[in-house]
Amino acid sequence: MTLRLITEVPAGLPEPRDRSLGELDPAAFEELFLHAGGMLAILDHEGRFLAVNPASERVLGWDPQTFVGESLLDFLHPHDGSSALRARERAATAERGQREPDEHGRVVELLARHRHRDGSWRWLLWSGAAHGDRWYAAARDVTEWIQLEHRVGRDPLTRLPNREVLTTELTHALSRHARSNQHLAVLFLDIDSFKQINDSIGHEAGDRLLAQVAERLSASVRGGDVVGRLGGDEFAVVAESLGTEVDAAMIAQRALAAFSEPFQLGSGPIVVSASIGVTTGSGDGRTAGALLHEADIAMYRAKKAGGNRFAIFDGALRTEVELRLEAQRELHAALARGEFELYYQPIVTLKDSAVVGYEALLRWAHPERGVIAPLAFVPLAEQAELIVPLGLWALGSAAAQTVAWRASTAGLEISLNVSARQLAADTFPDDVKAALEQSGLSPGGLCLEITEAAMLVDPARTASVIAQLRELGVKIALDGFGAEPASLHQLIAVPLDMIKLDRGLIAALADADNTANRTSRAMLAAVTAAAHELRISVVAVGVEHERQREMLLSAGCELAQGHLFAPARPAAEVSLKPQQLQAQAHVHEKPASRRPRARSGARQTAS
């Protein structure tokens, strides 16, 4: 939960008297300050404590002098800090600009977790106003109230029922409808592109947006319908006593209409849309969890169709889900039985076809359907959260195989794809380190390939993970370069060792002299020149024709892989011929005149 900032006087409180603090008896003020039961504080305009009353010791365990000279931020929970304080300062500035110098500002409230001396966190609700360059504020401990909110099942931000309460209400509703001929509906609502919106307007404004969405959604449904917040930007509606599926569709349409007008935030109006999944049920034995899951799946169908719409979970979608679940069960069993294997495709120099490394590619050796390519099962593994253990297995196997090959052929590198879920795992850098240590492969012999799409999921986190991996000495390649609009930006934004050109760019090189061919050649020349200037190697993927090879060479591209050289094969079928190999250090040698690119927190490691 982030901090809330309220710039209006809360309902029920009297308006401030038209009297300045300077007219109070100083002695009376001092007595009030010293003996008040609640925590009182005076802060400067930057949020540093100037004075705190003795009640601070009872509330937070700290002696009042501990606070003096320190920033309020130093005592806040990391998740409750800077955004709200910046907002409070903006509100204070706005207030000072709207009133005469001798007037008081309106009351500002701030709800946040504070560090207690015993190490726990306490929720304090501050109420204060600015006078000149100082803030005069009082705080009361509302921890028990917040905890009660959680116990009674209310979301503190929106005041809506939480997931647990909503699920219980849905279970009771199913029980009631088991004895009637009527239906109920579950709506699962997700705000379109909320992460990007939240990142652009700030988390505090994002919270205000969620609160307004809750208000509009509650106003759009019928009186007896239950609206709840499941978490994040996900909401759900349970609607009872429906005659047909059309009734459920009408409720979904009204919920969408709640987003037709811009939302008014402090920074100005913002237009937001939502995707809604709808499922209906009665006394057919389905559980509350099953209905929520169905509505969630339908919501993703609406989102994939472009958002700002609703989709209904139907028989065709149910069949699709059942087939997907069955395939996921098969994947779990396949991993346990060891049915996965790695194929290896060589990465070669375009100049003389010398093999400098291999890309390890995942295959499923199905006992009945034969060898299955990754596109057919990796998305399912992602959904079933199997991609992380599967990726770790692939990493360990590829590293061990490379060590075995290096015993006779020095300098070989192994490249391996990394999924967005692997990047999101907190332990991923440590898992990579453990796999290297267990196999004995030097870090410079491993290159991890990350797609642009995976990088864009959470750019800040991805950059941090990449920095940790490069600190280990592992190399990083940007896979599918040119497939996303942010391609050129990634060359500068992320420290890279290699880019692997998107197959679409390479495929166009095989065409006759047409617009697509000329565009690809121009992009190839520009990208290759920029990459070399930054000391980043370029690999062309999917090279199948001699014409492509010639154009790549003329553009300055040095490395490639594709069927023109060799397809991917199991390790047992890979032939390591010394005359076809070249030391990795020699292959990646750059002219001495080029100035190395500075990389913060990373180092180059010879393989």
Assign residue 403 the CATH number of its domain: 3.20.20.450
At 494-504, the pLDDT tens digits run: 788 999 998 88
Question: What sign has the CA pseudo-torsion 296, 297, 301, 304?
Answer: positive
* DSSP assignments along 87-107, one per residue: HHHHHHHHHHHHS-TTSPPPP
The half-sphere exposure of 268 on its side-chain side, counting CA atoms within 13 A, is 2
CA–CA separation, 103 and 129 (whole Å): 11
Within a domain: 586? no
pLDDT band per the 50, 70, 90 thresholds, residue 607:
very low
597 in Cβ contact with 534 (< 8 Å): yes
Q: What is the pLDDT, as a whole number, of residue 178? A: 77
Confidence of residue 591 (pLDDT cuts 50, 70, 90): very low
**Which single residue is written with the structure tokens 């007219």?**
23
Q: Which residues contact 412 (CB under 8 A, 6 or more apart)?
A: 355, 356, 357, 358, 402, 405, 406, 445, 581, 584
pLDDT score at 214: 95
How far is residue 298's CA from residue 317's CA, in Å, rounded to a whole number?
A: 8
385 and 497 both lie in a single domain: yes
pLDDT score, position 597: 34
Parent domain of 124: 4-146
The continuous run of DSSP H or E covering 109 comes out as: strand 108-115
Are 250 and 365 part of one and the same domain? no
Q: Give me the pLDDT at residue 6, please.
A: 32
Render 505-571 in DSSP notation, one character per residue.
HHHHTTS-SSHHHHHHHHHHHHHHHHHHHTT-EEEEE---SHHHHHHHHHTT--EEESTTT---EEG
Verify that 197 and 126 share a domain, yes or no: no
pLDDT number for residue 490: 63
Higher pLDDT, 549 or 384: 549
Average the pLDDT over each of 180-189, 205-214, 573-582 and give the range with the smallest value. Answer: 573-582
Q: For residues 19 and 29, what is the distance between their CA atoms, to the nearest angstrom?
A: 14
Which of 266, 285, 313 is at the close of a domain? 313
- DSSP codes, 20-84: -GGGS-HHHHHHHHHH-SSEEEEEETTSBEEEE-THHHHHHS--HHHHTTSBGGGGB-GGGSHHH
Q: Are 191 and 216 in contact (CB under 8 A)?
A: no
412 and 545 part of one domain: yes
What band does 220 get if pLDDT is binned at 50, 70 and 90? very high
Is residue 593 situated within a structural domain? no
The pLDDT confidence band at residue 403, using thresholds 50, 70 and 90, is very high
**Which of 32-46, 165-179, 236-250 has the highest average model confidence (pLDDT)?**
236-250
Looking at the predicted structure, is the pLDDT value of residue 578 above 50? no
Q: Is residue 301 over pLDDT 70?
A: yes
Nearest to 542 by CA among 518, 526, 564, 570: 564
Give the per-residue pLDDT at 17: 42
Q: Is there a single domain that holds both residue 115 and residue 82?
A: yes
Instruction: Assess if residue 594 is contained within a domain.
Output: no
Write down the pLDDT at residue 30.
Answer: 79
Between CA 457 and CA 462, with CA 459 as vertex, the angle to 5 degrees is 90
**Burial status of residue 370 (CB atoms within 10 A of its CB: 0-12, 13-18, 19 or more):** exposed
CA–CA separation, 112 and 413 (whole Å): 51
CATH number of the domain residue 95 falls in: 3.30.450.20
Whether the pLDDT of residue 56 is over 50: the answer is yes
Would 566 be classed as within a structural domain?
A: yes
Classify residue 341: in a domain, yes or no.
yes
Domain final position from 251, 285, 313: 313
Q: From start to end of 263-304, where are the E strands?
A: 263-265, 268-270, 274-281
**Has residue 199 been placed in a domain?**
yes
Pick the more confident residue, 587 or 65.
65
- Judge if 353 and 478 occupy the same domain: yes
C-alpha separations of 472 from 393, 438, 598 in Å: 20, 15, 17
Which of 195-199, 212-216, 594-598 has the least mean pLDDT? 594-598
Q: With respect to residue 602, please indicate whether it lies within any of the assigned structural domains.
A: no
Over 70: is that where the pLDDT of 12 sits?
A: no
Please state whether beta strands 498-501 and 475-481 pair in parallel, antiparallel, or not at all (unpaired): parallel
CATH number at 267 reads 3.30.70.270
Q: Does 354 lie in the same domain as 248? A: no
DSSP state of 5: E
Q: What tokens appear for 166 in the block?
A: 């909503």
Based on the fold, state whether residues 331 and 221 are members of the same structural domain. no
pLDDT-derived band at 90, boundaries 50, 70, 90: low
Name the residue with higher pLDDT: 133 or 271. 271
Total domains in the chain come to 3
R_g of the chain, CA atoms, integer Å: 31
Residue 342 φ/ψ, nearest 5 degrees: -110, 135
Provide mean pLDDT across the span 100-117: 67
Specify whether the backbone of 304 is left (phi greater than 0), alpha (psi in -120 to 50) or beta: alpha
Element containing residue 4 per DSSP (H, E): strand 4-6
Q: What are the tokens at 491? A: 């060359």
pLDDT score, position 581: 42
pLDDT value at position 84? Answer: 54
Residue 89 confidence (pLDDT) above 70 = no
Same domain, 355 and 241: no
Task: Indicate the average pLDDT of the chain.
Answer: 81
Question: Of 146, 173, 202, which residue sits at a domain end?
Answer: 146
- Claim to verify: residue 175 and residue 135 sit in the same structural domain: no
Q: State whether 309 and 402 are in the same domain.
A: no
Give tens-digit pLDDT for 152-186.
677 888 889 989 889 988 988 888 887 777 889 99
Within-domain flag for 590? no
Q: Average the pLDDT over each of 89-103, 463-477, 530-544 and give the range with the smallest value.
A: 89-103
* Contact between 499 and 477 (Cβ < 8 Å): yes
What is the structure's pLDDT at 10? 36
> What is each CA distance from 301 to 275, 296, 317, in whole angstroms?
9, 9, 9
Q: Which of 143-152, 456-465, 522-531 has the lowest mean pLDDT?
A: 143-152
Q: pLDDT: is 33 or 262 the higher one?
A: 262
Asked if 133 and 234 sit in the same domain, the reply is: no
Q: Averaged over 468-473, what is the pLDDT?
A: 93
- Report, as an integer, the average pLDDT of 137-146: 84
Residue 378 parent element (H or E):
helix 378-383
